[in-house]
Structure 1
Amino acid sequence: MEIVRRYCERSGGIELQTYSSPRSGMQRIREWQPDVVLLDIEMSGTSGIELARQLPTSCCLIFTTAYAQYALEGFEVNAVDFLHKPFFYERFERAMQKARQWVRMHDLLRTSESAVRQLLLKSDYKTISVSIDTILYIESIDNYVKVHLADGTSMLSKIPLHIVEGQLPQGEFIRIHRSFLVARCRIARFSKTEIILEKDGKALPIGRKYMDNLKLLKLRK
């Protein structure tokens, strides 16, 4: 990997970390979530193809190997390029240009998806955007809703609960009471009378009218 280190220094703007142990490297990848992973195919006791299948989807993959016969398998696991050793700087730089383009497109897609997963609410004469993925539950209080978030904060908006429910992704939230709408993925456990939320263990009551919703939840969990 010394040649890759020199090429990265020459290219500039690249922070490189190298690992000789596949296990340690994969653990670090999961923690660090790097933009680009350069991976060999034949390693002692480990297949780079199999490791590639375990990479986070946010990582762009480039194979670096002396074994050209693996090129087809490499592209089957969505590698953006295949550097056949030995390779020169110009070839390395072309691969990095492909990786940069892949990362830019991935970031644009992620930003677009994030923008879609927003709940827009009026609060204090302002429109506030709330990430749907941060919502624990939504509480109806008279003509208002109180949106409770995973970080412990909340916000109040003058809008009926059923209107908010119609703006949320179908199937991701469940009505458990006339006053409560809960994110499915935030439910730690439930009984016949209440659900317990993950994070802070808060208990919310289950209305008799909504018990069938919980039966559906039980089937899906």
Structure 2
Amino acid sequence: MIIKCIAVDDEPIALNLVASYIEQTPFLQLVDKCTSAIAVLRILQENPDIQLLFLDIRMADLSGMELAKIIDQGTSRKDRRIIFTTAYDQYALEGYKVGALDYLLKPFNFADFSRAAAKAFEYFSMFEEQKISPVVQTAGNQVEKNYIYLKVEYQLVKVDTDRILYIEGLKDYVKVYLDNEAKPILTLTSLKNLEEKLPTDKFKRLHRSYIVALDKVKAVTKNSLQVAGITVHVSEQYRDVFADFLRGWV
């Protein structure tokens, strides 16, 4: 996924720094840069697909805060967001009031910029996922999808849930093991977040580090199960869930 950006700052040195950071970030695309907040209105009109503004607050013609209140972003338009850049920390609260995604306090380095950019990537990934995989409803009832989208590096990957064998949670990542795939998919998310996306009648979390596809279980004991060549020992907190599964397994 590529996020289209514009950099706005009335100080040329600061503007060029932000522009260079954007160009060094694989999932960001610099559409334009300018030193005037008023010029932004024209640029946005000519480029309605711009999604992210790196916007200075104190500028001569129109402040970034005033511009944020004029343009569509945040609540009224969820596919356009702002990251403020400023040397004045007193604007932080006001920035969040106008729906800013983040707030970079000058002077900031590439590491600071990358953290804000990563927050933007996370936001737009979730937005795209909701847009391309809406919940289907028939006769007023929610219908479960047979696929999910996972963030893998800088793209969204569609995964057929019928192919999932089991899911292993690590510290900051999750490994998703698929049928007929030698290597798992590695995605930056939490096991809890992924658990909420999966159909509850097909997947169960039976250990703090594992979610199992119930129809892929090959063998069970009173406190463990085997799936795809591994043994998952059921944690104490999931004993009741496992007991319900055992009653319907045979």
Query: Taking structure 1 as the reference length, what is the TM-score of the superposition?
Result: 0.48
In our comparison, the structure showing a higher alpha carbon Rg is: 1
